[in-house]
Structure 1
Amino acid sequence: MFKKFWLDTIFGLLFILAIGGIVSQVFAFKVFDVFDPIGDAFADMESTDIVFSQLREDPVAEEDIIMVNVGTLNRQGIADLINIINAAEPRVIGVDLFFYNQKKDTLGDLALQYAFSQVENLVLVSKLLEPNEENSFDSLATSHPMFNQYAETAFANFITGAADQEDIKVCRTFAPKEMVNGEIEYSLAVKLVQYMDSVKAQKFLDRNKDVEVINYRGNIFDYGATEAPITYFALDWYQIFDGQFAPELIKDKCVLFCFMGAELGDRIALEDKYFTPLNAKYAGKAHADMFGGVVHANAMSMILAEDYINEMDDYLEYLLAIVILYLNIIVFVFIYKVMPKWYDGLTKLIQLIEAFALFTLGLVVFNVYNYQIDNTWMILGVLIAGDALEVYFGVFKNLFTKEGRKELTQINKL
């Protein structure tokens, strides 16, 4: 009897894993997507979004990064902005804008070229193009050489999973560096931090991770357009022209020029705007909440504060999921054999309590220790174990007994 008990737990585990594998393959082909409007609403959500948007206390303001909104200024206007800011002696100026071609406005181009030539430490963005099978890229798009000659470049690409501009762009992670034609190209955040604190930048790179989760801190003051904490000081283009800032605010800081709407608080502009975990509506998101420049700033803050997010390895998550599933199977098989009348009620109660506990534990660990555990498979295993075991005992196991097959082929009178 004792041996039979353990054989049932082992075969039950193998049966559930086999069923899980088949179901995961069916869903991999998105067969049921058309029937799943609720799933679509939660498709871009992760449980850790709740920590970012609801549980964490507002962080202190970031003092080393100043955001500048260029609005819809032409190149002459941007040149004037850079000249004013550069006179205040920032440590480094980053420009999250592309100037691919020369304009008919020659004077504007020459003004921008001259402004760039006067900046001691200048970083212009690049764009990674043509990914290849070697996990690197074949080409890099940059601004026109007349502008690019005075700057280092760093890529602005984010990892969003969006196939095109019409898709929802959810940004949780970024790549610290990529290989382009055999040479290293750093992300904008890493490159700017190298100027601010090369030791911290190298410490971050020494983690040697292909992808890093961004430990979001907050947003800019945007006049109520979002509900995220206000962490980054932002100057609008007209404020700089009007002299509405103190030069000592800029000295030795990183100043990042980027587009953040026609003016700060613009709720219509969608260009270079992303959904982030700070979005107040973490399920069924309606409005993008953060401009790309501010996403770069959040990645920079994480590196400067050495406040990284660590993740559990996939293989360990799968192993834990199988261990938890097997422990549940042991308990459920015991209940099935010893207290069969209590099976449905007890297993459902245990499943609900355990799934809630695992979900809550994941949030607590992430919130307290900045350690992310993808417990999706653990929770799924808990939730299907009870019913799957009933199928194992009631259908699968009976197929291998003479009595079970006989009952299946005979129709008794009512």
Structure 2
Amino acid sequence: MFKRFWLETIYGLFFILVLAFLVSQVTAFKIFDVFDPIGAVFEDMESTDIVFSQLREDPLAEENLILINIGDLPRSGIADMVNIINSAEPKVIGMDMVFKYPKEDTLGDLKLSDAFSRVENLVMYSKLLNVDDDDDFDSLEVSYPPLFGYGETAFVNFITGAADQDDLKMCREFAVSESVKGQEELAFSVKIAQHMDSAKVARFLARDKDVEVINYRGNIFDYGATEYAISYFALDWYQVLNMEFAPELIKDKAVIFCYMGSELGDRKALDDKYFTPLNKNYVGKTHADMFGGVVHANAFSMIMSESYINEMSENIGYILALVILYLNIVLFTVIYKVMPKWYDGLSKLIQLIEAAALFSLGLFVFNSFNYKIDTTLSIVAVLIVGDALEVFFGVFVNLFTKEGRKELRELKKL
């Protein structure tokens, strides 16, 4: 009897795994997508978004970086701002914008070129283009070299999964570095951090991860456009041109010039804007909530504070789900054999409690230790085991017992 019990649990495990595989093959063809409007709403959400947007305490403001909004200024205006900021002796200036071609305003181009030439540590925009057969990028989009080929370049690309500008641009992570024709190109935030503290960046690169999850800190003050913690100080274009700031604010800091609307708080600006986990409307998002320059700033802060997010490997996720599945098979088999009348109610109650516990565990670990454990497979295992095991005993096992086959024959006689 004891041996039969354990054999049944093992057979039950294989039955559920085969059943799950068959279901996954059917859903891979997206046959049921038309019946899943709720799934479409949740598909861009991760449970850890709740931690960022609801559970975490507001972090301290970033003291090593200042953001500058270029607004809709022409190149001559940007040149004036670069000269003003550069005179305050920042440690590094990053330009999160591209100047691809000369303009008809030749004087403006020359002014901007001259301004760039005066910056000691300058990081210029580059954009990765066209993946080749070896998964390397074959080219970079950069500013017009004869005029603006100063400083170093670093790529501004984010990992969003968006195929075009109309798609949801959800930014949770970024590539640390990429190979372009055999040459390494660092991410924009990494290159700027390297000028601030090369030792910290060396430790960051030593993690040897191709992709890093951004440990978001917060946003700029945007006059009520969002509800985030104010973690980054930003100057608007007119504040810089009118010298409405103390030079001490800039000295020895990292400065990023970027677009953040016609002026700070511009709610109509959509260019270079992304959805992030900080969005409090994490289900069915309607408005992108963070400009690209601020996303770079969050990645920079993560590197400078060395507060990284580590992730559980995919293989461990599979093993954890398999262990939880088998333990539940053993438990539910006992209930099925000993208390059959209680099976449906008890199994559903246990499934709900376990699923809630696993979901809460993922949030707790992420919030407390910056460690991302993927409990999705484990929760799925918990939610399917009760009904799947009932099918196993009610159909599969009965087919291989004399009593079960006898009942089928009697049914045929009716």
TM-score normalized by the length of structure 2: 0.98
**Distance in 2 (alpha carbons) for counterparts of 1:73 and 1:217:** 29
> What is the CA deviation profile of residues 251-270 of structure 1, one whole-angstrom value per residue up to 9, with x for unaligned ones?
00000000000100011111
> What is the CA deviation profile of residues 288-319 of structure 1, one whole-angstrom value per residue up to 9, with x for unaligned ones?
11000000000000000000000001001110
**Distance in 2 (alpha carbons) for counterparts of 1:410 and 1:260:** 76
> What is the CA deviation profile of residues 142-193 of structure 1, one whole-angstrom value per residue up to 9, with x for unaligned ones?
1110344212000000000111111000000001101111110000010000
Per the alignment, residue 33 of structure 2 pairs with: 33
Following superposition, the deviation at residue 403 of structure 1 comes to 4.4
Tell which deviates more after alignment, 87-96 or 139-148: 139-148
C-alpha contact 2:162 2:169 (8 A) present in aligned 1: yes
**Distance in 1 (alpha carbons) for counterparts of 2:151 and 2:12:** 62
> What is the CA deviation profile of residues 238-278 of structure 1, one whole-angstrom value per residue up to 9, with x for unaligned ones?
11111110001000000000000010001111111000000
Following superposition, the deviation at residue 406 of structure 1 comes to 4.9
Per the alignment, residue 313 of structure 1 pairs with: 313
C-alpha contact 2:302 2:308 (8 A) present in aligned 1: yes
1:365 aligns with 2:365: yes
Following superposition, the deviation at residue 27 of structure 1 comes to 2.3
C-alpha contact 1:116 1:147 (8 A) present in aligned 2: no
**Distance in 1 (alpha carbons) for counterparts of 2:104 and 2:266:** 29
Per the alignment, residue 398 of structure 2 pairs with: 398
Q: Percent of aligned positions with the same letter in both sequences?
A: 68
Amino acid at match of 1:72: D
C-alpha contact 1:256 1:293 (8 A) present in aligned 2: yes
1:267 aligns with 2:247: no
> Per the alignment, in what secondary structure is the counterpart of residue 276 of structure 2?
coil
**Distance in 1 (alpha carbons) for counterparts of 2:347 and 2:258:** 55
Per the alignment, residue 233 of structure 1 pairs with: 233
Amino acid at match of 1:320: L
> What is the CA deviation profile of residues 4-46 of structure 1, one whole-angstrom value per residue up to 9, with x for unaligned ones?
1111111111111111122222222222222211111111100
C-alpha contact 2:58 2:229 (8 A) present in aligned 1: yes
C-alpha contact 1:216 1:302 (8 A) present in aligned 2: yes
Per the alignment, residue 139 of structure 1 pairs with: 139
> Per the alignment, in what secondary structure is the counterpart of residue 68 of structure 1?
strand
Tell which deviates more after alignment, 19-28 or 164-173: 19-28
C-alpha contact 1:219 1:229 (8 A) present in aligned 2: yes
Tell which deviates more after alignment, 397-406 or 315-324: 397-406
TM-score normalized by the length of structure 1: 0.98
Amino acid at match of 2:9: T
Following superposition, the deviation at residue 412 of structure 1 comes to 6.0
> Per the alignment, in what secondary structure is the counterpart of residue 18 of structure 1?
helix
Following superposition, the deviation at residue 104 of structure 1 comes to 1.2
Per the alignment, residue 171 of structure 2 pairs with: 171
Give the length in aligned residue pairs.
Answer: 414
> Per the alignment, in what secondary structure is the counterpart of residue 382 of structure 1?
helix
Output aligned runs, 1:373-412, within 5 Å. 373-408=373-408, 411=411
**Distance in 2 (alpha carbons) for counterparts of 1:333 and 1:110:** 79
Per the alignment, residue 7 of structure 1 pairs with: 7
**Distance in 1 (alpha carbons) for counterparts of 2:410 and 2:147:** 84
Output aligned runs, 1:155-304, within 5 Å. 155-304=155-304
Output aligned runs, 1:92-103, within 5 Å. 92-103=92-103
**Distance in 1 (alpha carbons) for counterparts of 2:162 and 2:178:** 19
**Distance in 1 (alpha carbons) for counterparts of 2:164 and 2:90:** 36
> What is the CA deviation profile of residues 39-86 of structure 1, one whole-angstrom value per residue up to 9, with x for unaligned ones?
111111000000000000001110101000001111111111101100
C-alpha contact 1:159 1:175 (8 A) present in aligned 2: yes
C-alpha contact 2:143 2:149 (8 A) present in aligned 1: no
C-alpha contact 2:173 2:211 (8 A) present in aligned 1: yes
1:147–1:201 distance in 2 versus 1, CA, 3 Å: farther
**Distance in 1 (alpha carbons) for counterparts of 2:178 and 2:34:** 37
Root mean square deviation of aligned Cα? 1.3
Amino acid at match of 1:64: N
Per the alignment, residue 339 of structure 1 pairs with: 339
Tell which deviates more after alignment, 222-231 or 16-25: 16-25
> Per the alignment, in what secondary structure is the counterpart of residue 25 of structure 1?
helix
Amino acid at match of 1:300: F
> Per the alignment, in what secondary structure is the counterpart of residue 63 of structure 2?
strand
> Per the alignment, in what secondary structure is the counterpart of residue 62 of structure 1?
coil
C-alpha contact 1:113 1:146 (8 A) present in aligned 2: no
Following superposition, the deviation at residue 413 of structure 1 comes to 7.8
Tell which deviates more after alignment, 142-151 or 297-306: 142-151
**Distance in 1 (alpha carbons) for counterparts of 2:5 and 2:411:** 31
**Distance in 1 (alpha carbons) for counterparts of 2:324 and 2:141:** 48
Amino acid at match of 1:90: P
Output aligned runs, 1:79-118, within 5 Å. 79-118=79-118
C-alpha contact 1:91 1:195 (8 A) present in aligned 2: yes
> Per the alignment, in what secondary structure is the counterpart of residue 64 of structure 2?
strand
> Per the alignment, in what secondary structure is the counterpart of residue 94 of structure 2?
strand
**Distance in 1 (alpha carbons) for counterparts of 2:104 and 2:313:** 53
**Distance in 2 (alpha carbons) for counterparts of 1:184 and 1:408:** 68
> What is the CA deviation profile of residues 223-249 of structure 1, one whole-angstrom value per residue up to 9, with x for unaligned ones?
010111110000000111111100010
> What is the CA deviation profile of residues 114-135 of structure 1, one whole-angstrom value per residue up to 9, with x for unaligned ones?
1100101101111111113423
> Per the alignment, in what secondary structure is the counterpart of residue 167 of structure 1?
coil
Amino acid at match of 1:254: A
The gaps in structure 2 that reach 5 residues or longer are none
Following superposition, the deviation at residue 410 of structure 1 comes to 5.0
The gaps in structure 1 that reach 5 residues or longer are none
**Distance in 2 (alpha carbons) for counterparts of 1:110 and 1:264:** 28
Amino acid at match of 1:152: E
Per the alignment, residue 62 of structure 2 pairs with: 62
Following superposition, the deviation at residue 213 of structure 1 comes to 0.4
1:407–1:289 distance in 2 versus 1, CA, 3 Å: same
